[in-house]
Chain A
């Protein structure tokens, strides 16, 4: 089954304690992306990656890092989490190869609380 898997689904952590949210896709997609969703602000893109070792900032990259060492994985790293990073996070992937249409597949989300 084609899917994007995020872990963990729920996480409560303390300010300053480094954490990583993993994202893995099994569709051999080139493109992967991270979003955060906050009430009243909608979905905002954090980082995206066009392929292995190619990443770029989205609209709200401050306080986050990403890496793309393998095609299937795109972890989101919070080096020093702060309460304003409490949010619902989504990972997404798409194929960008060829001329056919490509849709974005989203993970089920990670609800992060930083206290």
Chain B
């Protein structure tokens, strides 16, 4: 699976959009981009995933660059409850063997 690079931490003001970048320059054609988050020592929670098209759900939007070497997770209106570690993971969708989390980005939403 391709390796990802994320900033260690980010701050975001409550009510503003949070844009979380992820670099995956070695991604291959059949690898998807997944985002999970972990709120202080709770079990990780799925957010969104995509292959090459932009995706949106009730939680977030995922923007993938045309060359697929990077992506951005957008939380449109950050709330205090969005404070968490956000993980960007790249893997083949149906490769259900090893599933590896990186260090993630610590996002702190402030009032």
Where the two chains meet, the residues of A that have a C-beta atom closer than 8 Å to any C-beta of B are: 4, 31, 33, 35, 42-45, 48, 50, 56, 58-59, 88, 90, 92, 94, 96, 101, 103-109
- Are A96 and B104 in contact (CB-based, < 8 A)? no
Query: Can you name the residue of chain A whose Cβ is closest to the Cβ of B49?
Result: A101
- Kindly list chain A residues whose C-beta atoms are within 8 Å of the C-beta of B103: 42
Name the contact of A109 in the complex, choosing from B41, B94, B104 (C-beta under 8 A). Answer: B41
- Interface SS majority for chain A: strand
Q: Which residues on the B side are within 8 Å of A50 (C-beta)?
A: 96-97
What total count of A-B pairs have CB within 8 Å? 52
* Secondary structure of the B contact surface, majority rule: loop
Select A33's contact among B36, B42, B99, beta carbons within 8 Å. B99
Say yes or no: A58 contacts B98, CB within 8 Å: yes
